[in-house]
Amino acid sequence: MLYVLAAIGALTVAILLWRAFGPERLGVATRPTIAPDDDPEFLRRLGEQTRRRDDDET
């Protein structure tokens, strides 16, 4: 029984430390993921490829 309580206590301390000093708290910069249809550079390249393909067909 004592080992179970020690394990629960250790787990609680670990969770509290993670919440206090986890990646969000340490200033780790996370870039939001941009979907291809929202990325202006992707859309520009796609438009250029489409225009080139249309020019090649005519």
pLDDT digits (tens, 9 = 90+) for 3-51: 999 999 999 999 999 888 876 655 555 667 767 677 888 889 989 999 9
The whole-number pLDDT of residue 57 equals 74
Domain span at residue 17? Answer: 2-57
The whole-number pLDDT of residue 58 equals 66
pTM: 0.41
The domain total for the chain is 1
Q: For residue 42, how many C-alpha atoms fall within 13 Å in the half-sphere facing its CB?
A: 6
Is-contact 51 57, C-beta < 8 A?
Answer: no
The whole-number pLDDT of residue 26 equals 54
Is-contact 43 37, C-beta < 8 A?
Answer: yes
